[in-house]
Amino acid sequence: MRFKSLFNFKWCSIFWIVSLAGLTGGCLGGALLALLQDLPQIRGLENFKPSAITRIYSADKELLAEFFLEKRDPVPLNQIPKYLQSALIATEDRGFYDHSGVALKSILRAIIKDIMAGEFVEGASTITQQLAKTLFLTPRKSLIRKIKEALLAIQLERRYTKSEILEFYLNQVYFGSGAYGVQAAAKIFFNKNVQQLDLAQCALIAGMPKAPSFYSPLVNKQRAVKRRNLVLKQMYLTNIIDNSQYEQAKKAAVQNTKAARHQRKAPYFVDYIKKQLEKIVGPTLLYKGGLRVFTTLSFKLQKSAETALDEGLSDLVLRIRQNKTNFSGSRAAPQAALLAMNIQSGEITAMVGGKDFQQNNFNRAVNAKRQPGSAFKPIIYANAVERGFAQTKMLLDGPVIFKNGPKGKEWRPKNFSGDYQGEITMRKALVDSINIPAIRLIESLGPSAVARFGHDLGIKSSLSPDLSLALGSSELSLMELVSAYAVFANKGERIKPFGILEISDAQGKLLWQVKPQRKIMMSRAGAAIITNMLEGVIQEGTGRKAKILRPPLAGKTGTTNDFKDALFIGYSPGMAAGVWVGMDNHSSLGKGETGSRTALPIWINFMKQVQAETAFHYFDLPDNVVKKRINPLTGLAARETSTHGVWALFLKGTEPKPLGTRTK
């Protein structure tokens, strides 16, 4: 009986052990099956499409900027230096070529350390596991995630060769500072292509996946060097390099590439384009779609614009210091903006929105609204020409009181010079930028009519329909002024300025192409006549400094009260350009800092390059317009040999008659 009882107990125990083992195995199998069901599907790595870089190009094919959430630029394995491949394997996964995706010894060692520490302190992930985590899993540490990572790694190893896995890893892993993949890392950290990296640079990059932000040379150069030297030591110990190479690479300096990385070409223009792209394609496609964006910018003219602006501001600052005018800080320092556009096409060819984009990214060429001063006067005179006024029409320059001036108050406007010339021609009043004749002219035309005409020329800002509009009291952007002047140069046709030519996707398929917005807003004859009057500003008036340039050129100075704003807007037969100089806080630039003294030299230096780059052309001369030599003071016809005469354009039938006859 006792033996039988022992026998029954033995089999009972075996039964329960087997049952328990089966139950445990079933649970583990079920759990494993559930994990397998929950694993992401491994699709072909060759078809994997991570977010790509959008690149912005100038019209002359210069790379201006790149937009991305994850900077990736894949390269084939045979273009990645052997030292970089070996350094990564020696540091991250020495048994890479021996395991099948999972290193069991490393896992057991890591489990023991994790248990002893009471938390996850060691990952024990192979390169394949790291790739699986990067592509398919979240970075959050957990036991379930580690199991999934291992299972996915095994699947990857069964489907792909070691070389394919290594190539994909090197192109996908994060190296810090926005760099995904070795090519992006090489560009960001060393401003090189990956093929050009030397041994020390390969070791530095190979050491970064462990803690990308911590070991970035842009964050902490000392930590990066220490980590690099540790990688070099591993390469030496595994016979990848010899002692001489090891010692020499350890001494290599890490150059600071931070400034180069953050330097963006034509930054104000690029920022302007970015805002346009966000409207056209949306932020997702912009930052992830790998677009190719071709812009209107001439990089050569852009560099000339930046140089001209820098030199002009340097000269102004020197004068301010000599005059002992105090200013401190970026907001109180003088600022400037320049914008240029192709007259016939509407393409923006150069844009500088301020002195230093890194210091202040506010784009004064596009977004700043400032009073244009006398730079608005050509719009008044152009409206007069369109309404049949000849440029020899006489206007009274004398003291005047308006009982119902701006804001309904009595107004006693004055000339900048403080004196008066009596009756003068409309041409002379514009050429010398005299205030009183302009005010009398806008009174006769009607301020509301002039405001409407300004809007027809492309000005979107509000224009106050009162007499002060003659003195440029309404605030406008530089872009609005330049585009309005371009109508005069372009035979009366308004073209909306634009900066993007076309957008294509990563495969080269055209997604968007510009459709220029054109509309005739004034007569061809009227445009030619006002252009001729603005030529007079340069040949005879406040823009005389520009006579050093090759004619034909036309333009107008602008200066506001207390010398707060200085402007020059002008054009050649092919290019319109405007310059504004002022203080962001609306304080004075200093006594005598007029448009002629402050803005015009910048314009001249820029237009020198424009003329060097473009063929010679004359301004348009329509068939219904005649050229006559006149006395600009009296408006009477002058002999062709007269040294005091100027060539002026007239609509046929309105030109001066024989000497002694005055045009009404």
| Residues known to be catalytic | 92, 374
Residue 27 one-letter amino acid: C
DSSP β-ladder status, 174-176 and 179-180: antiparallel
Token pair belonging to 189: 């950290």
2-15 residues labelled b (16+ CB within 10 A) or e (exposed): eeeeeeeeeeeeee
Count of positions (residues) in the chain? 664
Cα–Cα distance for residue pair 304/470, rounded to 1 Å:
33
Compute the C-alpha angle 449/483/523, nearest 5°. 55
600 and 546 Cβ atoms separated by less than 8 Å: yes
The structure tokens 């520009």 sit at 546
Q: How far is CA 496 from the centre of its chain?
A: 19
CB-based burial of residue 326 (10 Å sphere; 0-12 exposed, 13-18 middle, 19+ buried)? exposed
DSSP-assigned letter for residue 429? H
DSSP β-ladder status, 510-513 and 500-504: antiparallel
Q: Which residues pair with 520 in a beta bridge?
A: 493
**Long-range Cβ contacts of 588-591 (<8 Å, 24+ apart):** 588/562, 588/563, 588/564, 589/316, 589/320, 589/334, 589/563, 589/564, 590/319, 590/320, 590/323, 590/325, 590/563, 591/323, 591/563
Cα–Cα distance for residue pair 373/468, rounded to 1 Å:
10
DSSP 383-416: HHHHTT--TT-EEEES---BTT-GGGS-B----S
351 and 502 Cβ atoms separated by less than 8 Å: no
186 and 192 Cβ atoms separated by less than 8 Å: yes
Q: What three-state secondary structure class fits 595?
A: helix
Residue 492: which of 517, 470, 525 has the closest Cα?
Answer: 525
Cα–Cα distance for residue pair 643/427, rounded to 1 Å:
17
Q: Which residues pair with 625 in a beta bridge?
A: 651
Token pair belonging to 256: 């600071």
457 and 441 Cβ atoms separated by less than 8 Å: no
Cα–Cα distance for residue pair 340/346, rounded to 1 Å:
10
DSSP-assigned letter for residue 596? I
348 and 516 Cβ atoms separated by less than 8 Å: no
619 and 554 Cβ atoms separated by less than 8 Å: yes
484 and 454 Cβ atoms separated by less than 8 Å: yes
**What are the distances in angstroms from CA 58 to CA 266, 297, 605?**
10, 5, 22
DSSP-assigned letter for residue 598? I
Token pair belonging to 555: 């333009």
Residue 559 one-letter amino acid: T
Q: How far is CA 388 from the centre of its chain?
A: 44
